[in-house]
A and B are shown apart, each in its own frame.
Chain A
Amino acid sequence: MDKRKNKMSEWPRHRMQALWALLTNSYLIGFAQGKIYKGKLKNLCVPGMNCYSCPAAVGSCPIGSLQAVIGSWNFKFAFYVAGLLVFIGALIGRFVCGWLCPFGLIQDLLHKIPFPKKIKTFRGDKLLRKLKYVILVVFVILMPLFLVDILGQGAPYFCKLICPVGTLEGGLPLVLLNKSMRSTIGWLYAWKNVVLAVTIFLSILIYRPFCKYICPLGAIYSVFNPISVFHYRVDESLCTHCGACAKVCKMQIDPSKTPNHPECIRCGQCKKVCAAGALSSGCLRKGDY
């Protein structure tokens, strides 16, 4: 029983998530100084949701950067950032969500907090998952592109109006550490803290609500899940159709039917639970599909 429990433990993945979060947020002195890192590494985007205004962040947020370039007066499409996301998505898909996203880790840990009634799914769950695509198109692409000032510059509307990651990683520490910033906070700051509080509360109830319903980065990577080079596979000759993989999946998909479903974050729990060893993962292999 203990052996099985150890096998199903998610802590090896959480350790990897924590290690990556630390690596991409290694400018820890920023928290003491109330300042952000300004070095050359910020030319690079990290693969997961990680606000570049987090005092410890050493890389750029891909969604923030995407909006910055789309909303700039001289560029109306972000080839560099979009290309990076296409490249990462095509190689590993939503593996990023499961293993390399700091906000994914935070939600994973929040969901471990005991609560009398955890919600696995609900009416309208599937439909609500399409919301992240709407958010991607409207708030990340169209609004910065068309809602511009007299200089032709658009604001990063997703960051401004929705993103709870910026509030948690950047807003809270910077406002707490800077007296001048404290004097400038207003309704927008209050609104973003409400969004963050709701996200935190929902994360205790529902597994990764931000990833499922809101995250535009997950929406981009999800498009590549079915074709990504790193992928999951089912050996039909071994699968007993017991349903254990579907039962253990916290993203509510059935890996035996669609192992590369757009919602799969490649956490690997389905592979671990499969007694027949029918599920595996890998890259391009001989006889692969």
Chain B
Amino acid sequence: MRRRLSSMRWCGVGAAVLGLAMMGFGLYRGELPVVFTKAVNICLECIGIG
């Protein structure tokens, strides 16, 4: 049980590394401008108008 749970912690570390890799890939293929453009304009859907 203890060994299994310990391996779960390392799964967490692995998932964190995977997350960083995904972020890097997302940045590489140019997803950031989509996020930025959406965020700096008033989101009409979010506020219940669009």
Interface residues on B, range: 35 or more
A85 within 8 A of B: yes
A81 within 8 A of B: yes
Q: For residues 1 through 50 of chain B, which have their beta carbon under 8 Å from a beta carbon of chain A? A: 1-2, 5-6, 8-9, 11-16, 18-27, 29, 31-32, 34-36, 38-40, 42-43, 45-50
Additional pairs, 4, CB under 8 Å, beyond known A36-B42, A86-B22: A36-B40, A85-B19, A189-B49, A227-B9
Tell me whether A83 and B26 are in contact (CB under 8 A).
yes
Docked complex Cα distance between A86 and B14 (Å)? 10
Residue pairs across A and B with Cβ atoms less than 8 A apart, 19 shown, are A43-B35, A53-B47, A60-B36, A65-B38, A78-B26, A87-B19, A87-B20, A90-B15, A90-B18, A156-B46, A171-B48, A171-B49, A174-B42, A188-B49, A189-B47, A224-B12, A289-B1, A289-B5, A289-B9
A18 CB → nearest B CB, Å: 23
Contacts from A to B (Cβ < 8 Å): 36-38, 40, 42-43, 45, 51-53, 59-61, 64-65, 68-69, 72, 75, 78-91, 155-156, 159-160, 163, 166-167, 170-171, 174-175, 181, 184-186, 188-189, 191-193, 224, 226-229, 231, 284, 288-289
